Chain A
Amino acid sequence: MTNQLVMYEEELQQINTVCEQLHRDSNGKAVLVIDKNGQPIATAGEVDALDVTSLSSLTAGNVAATGGIASLLAEKEFAGQFHEGEKTNVHISIVAGRVILVVLFDGRSSLGLVRLRVKRASVELARILDDLVRKSQSAAAPSILAEITDDDIENLFND
Chain B
Amino acid sequence: MSFINYAQREINCKIVYYGPGLCGKTTNLQYIYNKTNPEAKGKMISLATETERTLFFDFLPLSLGEIRGFRTRFHLYTVPGQVFYDASRKLILKGVDGVVFVADSQIERMEANIESFENLRDNLQEQGYSLDKIPYVVQYNKRDLPNAAPITELEEVCNPKRVASFEAVATKGVGVFDTLKAVAKLVLTELKRGG
Contact = CB atoms under 8 A, between A and B. Distances in A.
CB-CB nearest 8 A-B residue pairs: A145-B195, A37-B95, A12-B7, A1-B194, A64-B91, A9-B7, A7-B5, A5-B3
Contacts of B66: 156
Interface in B178-195: 181, 184-185, 188-192, 194-195
A148 B194 CA distance: 11
Interface of B: 1-8, 11-12, 14, 42-43, 45, 47, 56-57, 59, 61, 64-68, 70, 72, 75, 87-88, 90-92, 94-95, 97, 128, 181, 184-185, 188-192, 194-195
Contact of B2 (A4, A38, A150, A156): A4
A1 B2 contact: yes
A148 B43 contact: no
Nearest to B42: A53
Contact of A12 (B8, B45, B185, B190): B8
A1 B190 contact: yes
Contact of B189 (A3, A5, A67, A153): A153
Given A53-B42, A144-B4, A61 B181 contact: no
A8 B194 contact: no
Interface of A: 1-9, 11-13, 35-39, 41, 51, 53-54, 57-58, 61, 64-65, 67-68, 142-148, 150, 152-154, 156-157, 159
Given A57-B75, A61-B47, A61-B57, A156 B188 contact: yes
A6 B4 contact: yes
B19 to A, nearest CB: 19
